[in-house]
């Protein structure tokens, strides 16, 4: 159990923003918490699940997670859900209705924006959802504020009958800071009280609640003006004053310690009276916000003059000192310190790759051999790496579960050039349960000619190996019913004879099965069944090595894509017909090799054999 869980009140702990939020949610007396893992929000629920007196779950997707939290709130329990920015897109249907219906127990939605795209397909700004749903938005700048705002958000939610968005960014989620914690506040659960005019959102009932939503926004405006999270800091350099929020404040204060700054933590509704007070003190106002010019547009619409923002600063990425100083100093005509300018250089290329023995490699090795005959739609997960070297075996990746619908669209929009190409959709087990099931049903219902590769590695691999409904384990590692993918896809309408469960390490079988199914003009599902090598379900076996004298340099093993295999030397050989063969003689790092034997099946001359595992070297021990 973590130190944060065991910490006594008034303890000072070094916590990431995610851990701090978990502590704050628990101290606020929350009883229900749900999430779907997604970087950078994943650790919030993992940390929260360690606390007592609270129910926490991995839901199958973010919409379900929010609905679980809404159900808890309707029943009078303080409830919480967490997701990354693209997750709120998934949850938006439920979100936009609960903003009208309101809450009973406090309802807090933590949304983590991946500013800088460290692990996401886009860089959207979740603050827009606050405007769209007319709900308050809180933005912490560090772990201490994340903890405090998590607690305050429940009070705000109940006092104003509204969900509250806690908008985070990657830097807040993952950077650690000192946090002083308190103790858990017991909150009684009132229980669900039927009220059809409120909870049954027919048009007539929803229409009757809209005036309350509008009136609430006016009250929240006044609250934001007086909020202790919104602080106007004076400064001696009045040439420019800044309006900012979140971690941008930390960077800004480091760069311009003498400038007046309006630091906003309660960012929607924007406290316009405080903005006007700042504007009266300075010559120019610059809005520093990640990523969209959201506050800038609202402040400009309010008539604030001499206003700047995205005309000086970029709309993408973090606003760190090396971005802020050149932009603002250039605007003011001040010299740019050399320490903020960095020479441009190209780092040594290190593209991401799959782990040694990853069960996805055999699938992509086979797909690469069929590349000219197929179109391949991909999905969100570790297997997105199949788009890279050496496989180059994905054509599309858009969003969670999109491989299904995109594959059907490709099938229905064939041209003369693609009419004879097979369409393959690649999707992982967690993603299939998240959003892929509906897509497969749509393919079956509309008689699509698509071969689906369902890669079951018994984990949510891309976000760190979380459990899901297909693993047989719950959030806390407890045993749960495990989804049977064969029976599930059959229930969705796929013919039993078109469903194949195979071992992805058996390369000839993988290739033969794919080749067989793409020739049949109807829906097929090929399910691979080997666990992620980093999961608790994986068992290592004897590793392999290359026998140098037997290696012919054919390079087939390199095409598997295993990072344990490297090229030891290369040479060119002129054939009898004058063509030049590039030979690649390889070696295997036996300390990294897990013995999956995919490379063995790719090796023509049988130069790869089992080898004793390399012994670990103890630091300081003589070799």
For residue 121, what pLDDT is reported? Answer: 85
Mean pLDDT of 439-444: 97
pLDDT at residue 622, as a whole number: 36
d(CA 337, CA 148): 36
Cβ-proximal residues to 426 (8 Å cutoff; 6+ apart), any chain:
363, 367, 376, 377, 378, 379, 383, 386, 394, 403, 453, 455
Mean pLDDT within 521-525: 96
Q: What is the pLDDT of residues 9-21, one digit of tens each?
A: 889 999 999 999 9
The CATH number of 360-528, from 3.10.20.30, 3.30.450.40, 3.10.450.50, 3.40.50.970, is 3.40.50.970
Residue identified by tokens 């049903």 is 441
Q: What is the pLDDT of residue 582?
A: 87
pLDDT at 621: 39
- CATH fold for the domain made of 12-225: Rossmann fold (3.40.50)
Asked if the model's pLDDT at residue 498 lies above 80, the reply is yes
Asked if the model's pLDDT at residue 289 lies above 80, the reply is yes
* Res. 620 pLDDT band, cuts 50 70 90: very low
Q: What is the pLDDT of residues 363-385, one digit of tens each?
A: 999 999 999 999 999 999 999 99
Residue 581 has what pLDDT?
Answer: 82
pLDDT reported for residue 618:
43
Six-digit token string for 123? 């860089």
- List where CATH 3.30.70 sits in the chain: 544-610
- pLDDT tier at 65 (50, 70, 90 boundaries)? very high
According to the model, what pLDDT value does residue 471 have?
92
Q: What is the pLDDT of residues 91-132, one digit of tens each?
A: 999 999 999 999 999 999 999 999 887 778 888 999 999 999
Residue 568 confidence (pLDDT) above 60: yes
Higher pLDDT, 417 or 622: 417
**Does residue 463 have a pLDDT over 90?**
no
Q: How confident is the model at residue 614 (pLDDT cuts 50, 70, 90)?
A: low
pLDDT tens for each residue of 175-203: 999 999 999 999 999 899 999 999 998 89
Q: How many angstroms separate the CA atoms of 83 and 435, rounded?
A: 15
pLDDT in tens, 29-55: 999 999 999 999 999 999 999 999 999
- pLDDT of 311-350, one tens digit each? 999 998 899 999 999 999 999 999 988 876 556 666 666 6
Helix axes 272-279 and 203-226, enclosed angle (nearest 10): 30
Please give the pLDDT value at position 616.
Answer: 43
Q: State the Cα–Cα distance between residues 505 and 513, nearest whole angstrom.
A: 13
Highest average pLDDT, of 164-168, 216-220, 415-419, comes from 164-168
Domain ranges in the chain with CATH number 3.40.50.970 = 12-225, 360-528
> What backbone torsions phi and psi does residue 446 show, to the nearest 5 degrees?
-100, 20
Q: What CATH class does 544-610 carry?
A: alpha beta
For residue 16, the Cα-to-chain-centroid distance in whole angstroms is: 17
Q: Longest C-alpha distance within the chain, in Å?
A: 86
pTM above 0.75, yes or no: yes
- Residues 245-260 have a mean pLDDT of 94
Structure confidence at residue 54 (pLDDT): 95
Alpha helices in 189-258 (DSSP H): 196-199, 203-226, 248-255
How sure is the predictor about 240, in pLDDT bands with cuts at 50, 70 and 90? very high
CATH 3.10.580.10 fits 231-332, yes or no: no
SS3 547: coil
pLDDT at residue 617, as a whole number: 42
For residue 220, which of 264, 263, 268, 265 has the smallest C-alpha distance?
268
Higher pLDDT, 540 or 272: 272
Tell me where in the chain the CATH 3.40.50.920 domain(s) lie.
231-332
Judged by average pLDDT, the poorest of 163-172, 277-286, 387-396 is 387-396
To the nearest whole number, what is the mean pLDDT of the chain?
92
What value does the mean pLDDT take over residues 391-406? 93
Where do we find the tokens 């916000």? Answer: 289
Question: What pLDDT does 577 receive?
Answer: 78
* CA separation for the pair 351, 74 (Å, rounded): 47
pLDDT above 60: residue 271: yes
Q: Which residues are paired to 245 by β-bridges?
A: 264
Q: What percent of the chain has pLDDT over 70?
A: 96
State the first-to-last Cα distance of the chain, in angstroms, to the nearest integer: 38
Give 577-606 pLDDT, tens digit per residue. Answer: 778 888 999 999 988 898 898 999 899 889
């Amino acid at each position: 159990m973590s130190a944060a869980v065991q910490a006594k009140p008034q303890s000072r702990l070094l916590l990431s923003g995610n851990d701090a939020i978990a502590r704050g949610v628990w101290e606020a007396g929350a009883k229900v918490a749900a999430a779907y893992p997604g970087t950078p929000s994943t650790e919030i629920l993992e940390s929260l699940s360690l606390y007592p007196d609270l129910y926490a779950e991995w839901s199958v997707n973010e919409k379900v997670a929010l609905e679980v939290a809404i159900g808890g709130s309707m029943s009078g329990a303080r409830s919480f859900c967490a997701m990354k920015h693209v997750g709120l897109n998934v949850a938006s249907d439920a979100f936009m209705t609960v903003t009208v219906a309101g809450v009973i127990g406090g309802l807090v939605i933590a949304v983590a924006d991946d500013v800088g795209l460290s692990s996401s397909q886009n860089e959207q700004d979740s603050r827009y959802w606050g405007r769209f749903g007319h709900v308050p938005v809180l933005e912490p700048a560090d772990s201490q504020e994340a903890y405090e705002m998590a607690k305050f958000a429940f009070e705000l939610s109940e006092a104003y009958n509204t969900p509250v968005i806690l908008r985070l960014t990657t830097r807040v989620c993952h950077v650690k800071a000192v946090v002083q914690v308190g103790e858990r506040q017991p909150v009684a659960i009132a229980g669900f009280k039927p009220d059809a005019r409120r909870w049954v959102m027919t048009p007539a009932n929803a229409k009757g609640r809209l005036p309350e939503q509008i009136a609430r926004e006016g009250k929240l405006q006044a609250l934001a003006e007086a909020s202790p999270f919104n602080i106007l800091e004076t400064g001696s350099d009045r040439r420019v004053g800044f309006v900012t929020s979140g971690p941008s404040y930390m960077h800004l204060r480091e760069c311009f310690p003498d400038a007046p700054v309006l630091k906003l933590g309660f960012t929607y509704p924007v406290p316009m009276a405080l903005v006007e007070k700042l504007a009266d003190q300075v010559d120019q106002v610059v809005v520093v916000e990640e990523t969209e010019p959201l506050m800038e547009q609202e402040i400009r619409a309010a008539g604030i003059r001499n206003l700047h923002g995205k005309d000086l600063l970029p709309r993408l990425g973090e606003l760190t000192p090396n971005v802020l100083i050149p932009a603002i100093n250039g605007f003011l005509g001040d010299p740019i310190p050399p320490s903020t300018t960095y020479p441009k250089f190209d780092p040594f290329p290190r593209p991401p790759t799959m782990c040694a023995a990853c069960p996805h490699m055999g699938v992509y090795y086979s797909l690469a051999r069929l590349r000219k005959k197929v179109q391949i739609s991909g999905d969100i997960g570790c297997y997105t790496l199949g788009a890279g070297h050496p496989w180059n075996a994905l054509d599309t990746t858009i969003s969670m579960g999109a491989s299904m619908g995109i594959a059907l669209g490709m099938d229905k929009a064939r041209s003369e050039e693609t009419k004879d190409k097979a369409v393959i959709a690649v999707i992982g087990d967690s993603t299939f349960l998240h959003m892929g099931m509906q897509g497969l049903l749509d393919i079956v219902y509309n008689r699509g000619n698509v071969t689906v590769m369902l890669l079951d590695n018994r984990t949510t691999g891309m976000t760190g190996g979380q459990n899901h409904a297909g693993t047989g384990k719950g959030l806390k590692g407890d045993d749960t019913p495990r989804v049977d993918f064969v029976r599930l896809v059959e229930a969705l309408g796929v013919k039993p004879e078109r469903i194949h469960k195979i071992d992805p390490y058996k390369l000839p079988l993988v290739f033969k099965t794919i080749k067989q199914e793409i020739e049949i003009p109807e829906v097929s599902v090929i399910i691979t069944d080997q666990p992620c090598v980093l999961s608790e379900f994986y068992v290592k076996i004897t590793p392999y090595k290359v026998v140098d004298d037997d290696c012919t340099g054919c390079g087939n093993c390199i095409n598997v894509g295993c990072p344990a295999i490297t090229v030891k030397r290369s040479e060119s050989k002129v054939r009898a017909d004058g063509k030049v063969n590039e030979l690649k003689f390889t070696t295997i790092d036996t300390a990294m090799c897990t013995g999956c034997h995919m490379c063995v099946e790719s090796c023509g001359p049988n130069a790869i054999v089992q080898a004793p595992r390399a012994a670990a070297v103890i630091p300081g021990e003589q070799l």
